[in-house]
């Protein structure tokens, strides 16, 4: 229960109580008997010892576990449910729900009672209850008016619940009563991410840390990727401090518990980009991956939900025109020509070209390549419209067996020789006949 003074001369006063599920209270005042540490449960079968036990005060913790009157006694809890005496810990992503009562503590009625409740933060002011446009006719002496407010906490830092009442007292004087109830909203979770790129594939590792003083039970953790990308989970979530063994260890892992005061769980995602999807100039220059949505429950089932800001990948330079392989024959034979289908894409908002695709016959050290062009060393690509793509076929031939690389293929402007892109080295397996 939290309250504030009604002020001198006021007939009304607000009382505010946060509505939340009660917590189990462990009775730490149980009398400890050293005999509970040395005597076993089977010793209770002794008539002499049984008489001694029955005569002593039955408040020892071992007694409540060995001689159970009710199944709940095995928990060592007295069964008390305790409501918080203050607003308690309030976290970002949870719902703040309060029971507000405005009572008339005078010996006379008050009339035309208008009541308003607002929640104020550093950024906004939200009205949660307002009957000032249709005030109550009266609140009788000793009477009260009760209502419930609810608001999802979306900001960190100080919050102020402002309860206001405007009424007419017994002297026909119009009075205004404001009362303020303050609390802090904290962050329950800390989310750390790490982005890695392996062979043109992007991976995201997310570590979720529990910043509260109690256990959190994850309902689900979902990553919403930026279109047109899709995502798949490579590893199920794990707890680095989870050392539980036994028949229930698998069940405990499925519950997805994050330990209090710094417990963590890890998630690993792989990103996929559909083939053939056109990419706009804006999307091509962006490194946004998406958002992570986390839903959890506290020990007594109260829900919470958070969504991270946009998670950014490693920045990569934007290409005006790109060149990539889209199809390679499944079988490549020694000294037999084969076709490689490549895609040339214009990522700009202007027309480019004509373009030229060429392949050098020697590498940087002057060593002849194992895969060379079959025919002319270069080919022309017509002009490309803005954001357009075209496919071309390049005829190649392998001069050595085994694993070989297709390298040395470049894309330039045919008119001024401006380089646009170079084909990423691609490995193929060459078979002998």
pLDDT tens by residue, 254-285: 677 888 888 898 899 998 876 544 443 333 44
pLDDT at 348: 80
- Between 167 and 85, residue with greater pLDDT: 167
pLDDT tens by residue, 10-25: 889 999 888 776 655 5
383: Cβ contacts below 8 Å, ≥ 6 apart: 351, 352, 353, 354
pLDDT tens by residue, 319-364: 788 888 888 888 888 888 888 888 888 888 888 878 888 877 766 6
pLDDT at 294: 92
Q: What letter does residue 308 receive in the DSSP assignment? A: P
Tokens of 427: 């490995």
* φ and ψ of 202, to 5 deg: -95, 135
Q: What is the DSSP string of 374-404?
A: SS-SEEEE--B-TT-EEEEEEEEEESS-EEE
Sign of CA dihedral 120, 125, 126, 130: positive
Q: In which band, very low, low, confident or very high, does the pLDDT at 1 lie, cut at 50, 70 and 90?
A: very low
- Between 35 and 296, residue with greater pLDDT: 296
β-bridge mates for residue 272, sequence order: 230
Q: Which of 43-52, 78-87, 174-183, 412-421 has the lowest mean pLDDT?
A: 43-52
pLDDT at 235: 63
Residue with tokens 């060149």: 323
pLDDT tens by residue, 408-421: 888 888 888 888 88
pLDDT tens by residue, 66-121: 555 655 555 555 555 555 556 667 899 998 889 999 999 999 999 999 999 999 99
Q: What is the DSSP string of 209-263?
A: EE-SSS-EEEEEEEEEEPTT-EEEEEEEEE-TT----STTHHHHHHHTEE-TTT-
Q: In which band, very low, low, confident or very high, does the pLDDT at 249 lie, cut at 50, 70 and 90?
A: low
User: Domains in the chain, ordered, with CATH?
Assistant: 2-21+85-186 (2.60.40.10), 23-82 (no CATH), 189-283 (2.60.40), 321-431 (2.60.40.10)
């Amino acid at each position: 229960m939290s309250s504030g003074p009604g002020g001198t001369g006021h007939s009304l006063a607000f009382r505010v109580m946060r509505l939340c599920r009660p917590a189990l209270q462990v009775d730490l005042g149980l009398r400890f008997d050293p005999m509970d540490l040395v005597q076993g449960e089977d010793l209770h079968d002794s008539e002499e010892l049984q008489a001694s036990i029955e005569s002593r005060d039955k408040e020892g913790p071992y007694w409540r576990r060995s001689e159970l009157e009710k199944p709940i006694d095995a928990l060592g809890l007295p069964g008390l449910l305790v409501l918080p005496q203050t607003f308690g810990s309030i976290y970002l992503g949870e719902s703040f729900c309060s029971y507000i009562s405005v009572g008339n503590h005078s010996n006379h009625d008050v009339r035309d009672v208008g009541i308003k409740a607002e929640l104020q933060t550093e950024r906004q002011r939200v009205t949660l209850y307002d009957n000032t446009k249709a005030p109550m006719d009266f609140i009788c002496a000793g009477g009260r008016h009760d209502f419930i407010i609810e608001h999802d906490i979306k900001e960190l830092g100080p919050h102020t619940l402002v309860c206001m009442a405007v009424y007419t007292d017994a002297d026909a004087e119009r009075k205004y009563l404001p009362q303020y109830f303050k609390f802090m909203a904290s962050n329950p979770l800390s989310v750390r991410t790490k982005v890695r790129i392996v062979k043109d594939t992007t991976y995201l590792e997310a570590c979720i840390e529990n910043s509260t003083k109690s256990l959190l039970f994850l309902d689900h953790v979902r990553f919403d990727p930026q279109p047109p990308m899709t995502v798949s989970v490579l590893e199920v979530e794990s707890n680095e401090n989870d050392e539980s063994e036994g028949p229930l260890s698998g069940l405990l892992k499925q519950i997805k518990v994050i330990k209090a005061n710094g417990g963590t769980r890890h998630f690993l995602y792989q990103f996929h980009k559909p083939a053939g999807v056109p990419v706009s100039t804006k999307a091509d220059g962006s490194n946004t991956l998406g958002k992570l949505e986390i839903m959890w429950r506290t020990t007594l089932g109260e829900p919470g939900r958070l969504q991270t800001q946009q998670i950014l990948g490693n920045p990569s330079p934007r290409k005006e025109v790109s060149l990539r392989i889209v199809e390679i024959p499944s079988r490549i034979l020694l000294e037999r020509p084969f076709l490689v289908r490549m895609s040339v894409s214009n990522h700009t908002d202007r027309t480019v070209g004509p373009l030229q695709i060429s392949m050098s016959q020697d590498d940087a050290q002057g060593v002849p390549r194992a895969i060379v062009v079959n025919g002319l060393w270069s080919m022309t690509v017509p002009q490309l419209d803005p954001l357009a793509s075209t496919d071309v076929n390049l005829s190649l031939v392998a001069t050595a067996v085994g694993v070989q690389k297709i390298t040395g293929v470049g894309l330039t402007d045919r008119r001024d020789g401006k380089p646009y892109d170079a084909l990423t080295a691609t490995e193929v397996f060459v078979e002998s006949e």
